[in-house]
Structure 1
Amino acid sequence: MSAPHETRAVREVDLGGGVSVPQLGLGVFQVPPEEAQRVVEEALEVGYRHVDTAAAYVNEAGVGAALRACGLPREEVFVTSKLRNGDQGYEQALRAYDDTLARLGLDALDLYLVHWPNPAAGRYVDSWRALAQLRAQGAVRAVGVSNFLPVHLDDLAAASDLVPAVNQVELHPTFQQRELVEDCRARGVVVEAYSPLGQGADLDDPAVTAVAAAHGTTPAQVVLAWHLQRGHVVIPKSSRRARLEENLAAAQLELTADELDRITALERGHRTGGDPATFALSQIR
């Protein structure tokens, strides 16, 4: 690949313990395994320094290949992966982490998350104990959760003194999860938004398109800027280089207080993904 470009100015968010994460990163959910290396290499070329994958996405190997090919020092790229439901449990989670490192070809992750609480299985507290052990051993820089509701976070708090660094949840203008966000912030948990554009459904709203027209930008850039100015870490997915560049440029867009309010007013309770209270797929394919 060509030499990596200079990183655009993307703010970093403190996760505690000397760890910080670029606020705008690349998500690779639904990027096919055979395309993952190309997509991640192109993202790194245009300036991304934060990549989010998961065992359940079946593309960790492609992400790792891109990291090796890109020519960047390992410490310059923040890498996240996640523990799938079928690997939950204390011993299983420890083995799964080693498997993820092997697929990625890394010695350690920057962030490892429990992908879902999967409450029907009743193993998320044991999984969290495993992640806490990995962090205590220095095998991972930070640990957190994904799709956890306050009741699940309460269970972790009752079993461990370690507070998740991150809760990665579905979050976009028409599904803002305000009570959950407030709960996370009260605990000192950073909120990370996946499906930040509502899988594209939020981009056609007149409030979003009007703000985009006023700034001469795209609706996607407006929604991403809204996330960034609200303090969310955000991981939009794209497989196209032009869209990768467009999304990254959202870090330079500043919306007015009135524009932020107009987008915040779009809350509809419109979830597009699974419900953490019931989602129970093994995620093993």
Structure 2
Amino acid sequence: MKRKPWPLIIIAVLHIFAPFGNLLLNAIKSGRSISEQWFYWSQVLPKSLVFIYVIVPIVAGILILICRRWSYWLYLVCLGLVFISNVYSFTTNANLMSFVLLVVVVIADLLVVAYFVVPSVQKVYFDPRLRWWEAAPRYHFDIEGQVNGTAAFIKNLGQGGLYLTTGPELSEGDRADIFWNFEGIEVRIPGKVVYKSNRPDFPGYGIKFDPHPEGEKKVSQVIATLHRRGKIVVERLPGPEDSFGVWLKKLFTTGEGLFPRIRKS
């Protein structure tokens, strides 16, 4: 899979549309039309409660899509606010339907929290190297350059980094001073080894560039040329196999796809 995991997208979309479903359920429960229920929410209920009903679920969905460590913790805060609001609604109108709705909400919240406790899901949130869908487009480069003054072969290039298949012995965290000459464009830019691949079919090093205005400008010039020549690495782009339909079929036929599969270097 080369796009954001579908379960995260689905959970986010459900949160974003939750206020509409909440409005409809409350209208049915109260015997009101949707417009009457909205009038009741906006004119009768405390504004803080309306904010939790309408805005907080949408914010929670957006936080899921942001997919960062800080957004994860803020998302849990949003879940807590929604839970408190549902408990409050039940205590002010205790009946069988309110109880059933409260139980459904609690079970749904527990399932979502349990999903985000799964190690592979947390790793995607907490380790930016594993968020593969955020990677800038890569381009076939296949050129010899230098790393720390030693000859090295650059296999592919992106705006934020490159991949070496040969060169000096490096380890994750090592600094790398990179140089190459591409059709008269001399590029020198510092970087850092962010991962070392031990795959027998594709060993090498992934290097992330440091902020360097002059070097980044020249990298952009090189990439513009590679883009015009159609050198983009299409294998890294989402394809038909990453569509929702294919994912859903695979989920029901093989059980795979519910949790992100962490790529091993």
Q: TM-score, structure 1 length as denominator?
A: 0.21
Larger radius of gyration: 2
Q: TM-score, structure 2 length as denominator?
A: 0.22
Which protein, 1 or 2, shows the higher relative CO under an 8 Å CA cutoff with sep ≥ 6?
Answer: 1
